C-alpha cells in the first residue's frame, strides 16, 4: 500500500509539473480535452440537473412546513445552502462523475495499453502524460466545476418554484432569505471540494488505467481499484472540508 501511494504521489507531481509545461503548447491534447468536457460535463448535465431539481424541490416542500411549525422558517434556507451548495452537492456530483467518467477513463486507457496504442504514441514521440493524461484530468476538473454551478442553480430554482406554487412564499421573500443564507465562503468551499475531488478522481483513473500491462483481464481489476480509491478520496476530501468549516468558520446549519 505504501509503494502504491508513493507511486501515485510521484504520478500526481509529474502531472502538475507537466501541466505548467503544457501551457506553452496548448494545441497538444486540445481535442482530447474538449471530448472529455463534452463526455463528463455536457452528457452528464441532464442527470445532474434532474437530481438537483428533485432534491431542491423535496427539501423545500418537506422542510418548510416543519420549520414553520417550530417557529424557525429561516432554517430551511440554511438547509438548502448545506444540501445544494456547500456540503452535499460536491459529494453527489463527484459520485455521478466517478460512475460515468472515472471508470470510463480507467477502462479506456487500460484497453489502449493492452492494444499497444500507448506504446505506438510513444514511438511517434507523443508523450503519454501530455496527450492522454493532462487533457482528461483538466477536462474532468472543468466539467465538475461547471456541473457544480448548474447543480446549485437548478436546485435553488426548483426550491423557488415549489415555494411559489405550494407554500405561499413570495418570490422576493424567497430570494432575500436564500441569498442571506449563502455566503462567499460557502461558494469557495464548494468550489475547492469540487476541483480537488475532480482532480483526484481523474488522476486516479489515469494512474490505474495506465498500470494495465498486457492482459485484458487486468482492465476490470484496475477499474475496480479506481472506483475504490476514488470513493475513499472523495469521502475524505468532503469530510475534511466539513470538519474544517465547522471548526473554523461556522455551524452545521
Q: How confident is the model at residue 30 (pLDDT cuts 50, 70, 90)?
A: confident
pLDDT in tens, 82-115: 999 999 999 999 999 999 899 999 999 999 999 9
CA–CA distance, 214 with 89 (Å, rounded to integer)? 39
Q: Which of 193, 81, 66, 63 is nearest to 141 (CA)?
A: 193
Query: Rounded to 10 degrees, what is the CA torsion of 3, 129, 114, 229?
Result: 40
Region 230-248: what's the mean pLDDT? 92
Report the pLDDT value the prediction gives residue 22, as an integer from 0 to 100: 73
- DSSP-H helix ranges across the chain: 2-22, 30-37, 43-69, 75-81, 88-97, 103-114, 117-123, 128, 134-166, 171-181, 184-211, 218-248
Hey, CA dihedral for 64, 69, 70, 72, is it positive or negative?
positive
pLDDT in tens, 162-201: 999 999 899 999 999 999 999 999 999 999 999 999 999 9
Percent of the chain at pLDDT exceeding 90: 70
Report the pLDDT value the prediction gives residue 1, as an integer from 0 to 100: 61
For residue 70, what are the CA distances in angstroms to 31, 64, 75, 132, 160? 55, 10, 10, 55, 21
Report the pLDDT value the prediction gives residue 26, as an integer from 0 to 100: 58
Report the pLDDT value the prediction gives residue 246, as an integer from 0 to 100: 87
pLDDT in tens, 35-75: 889 988 899 999 999 999 999 999 999 999 899 989 888 89
Report the pLDDT value the prediction gives residue 252, as an integer from 0 to 100: 47
Report the SS3 class of residue 140: helix
Mean of per-residue pLDDT scores for the chain: 90
Write out the three cell numbers for 245: 468549516
Amino acid at each position: 500500500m505504501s509503494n502504491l501511494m508513493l507511486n501515485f504521489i510521484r504520478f500526481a507531481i509529474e502531472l502538475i509539473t507537466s501541466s505548467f509545461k503544457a501551457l506553452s503548447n496548448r494545441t497538444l491534447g486540445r481535442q482530447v480535452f474538449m471530448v472529455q468536457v463534452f463526455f463528463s460535463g455536457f452528457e452528464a448535465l441532464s442527470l445532474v440537473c434532474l437530481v438537483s431539481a428533485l432534491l431542491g424541490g423535496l427539501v423545500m416542500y418537506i422542510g418548510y412546513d416543519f420549520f414553520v411549525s417550530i417557529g424557525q422558517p429561516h432554517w430551511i434556507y440554511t438547509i438548502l445552502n448545506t444540501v445544494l451548495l456547500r456540503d452535499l452537492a460536491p459529494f453527489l456530483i463527484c459520485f455521478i462523475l466517478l460512475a460515468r467518467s472515472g471508470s470510463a477513463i480507467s477502462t479506456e486507457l487500460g484497453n489502449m495499453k493492452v492494444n499497444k496504442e500507448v506504446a505506438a504514441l510513444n514511438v511517434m514521440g507523443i508523450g503519454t502524460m501530455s496527450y492522454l493524461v493532462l487533457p482528461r484530468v483538466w477536462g474532468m476538473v472543468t466539467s465538475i466545476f461547471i456541473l457544480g454551478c448548474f447543480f446549485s442553480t437548478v436546485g435553488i430554482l426548483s426550491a423557488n418554484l415549489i415555494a411559489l406554487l405550494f407554500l405561499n412564499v413570495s418570490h422576493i421573500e424567497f430570494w432575500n432569505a436564500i441569498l442571506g443564507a449563502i455566503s462567499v465562503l460557502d461558494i469557495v468551499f464548494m468550489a475547492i471540494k469540487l476541483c480537488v475531488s475532480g482532480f483526484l478522481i481523474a488522476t486516479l483513473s489515469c494512474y490505474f488505467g495506465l498500470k494495465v500491462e498486457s492482459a485484458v483481464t487486468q482492465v476490470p481489476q484496475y477499474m475496480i481499484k479506481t472506483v475504490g480509491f476514488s470513493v475513499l478520496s472523495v469521502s475524505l476530501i468532503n469530510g475534511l472540508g466539513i470538519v474544517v468549516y465547522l471548526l473554523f468558520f461556522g455551524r452545521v446549519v
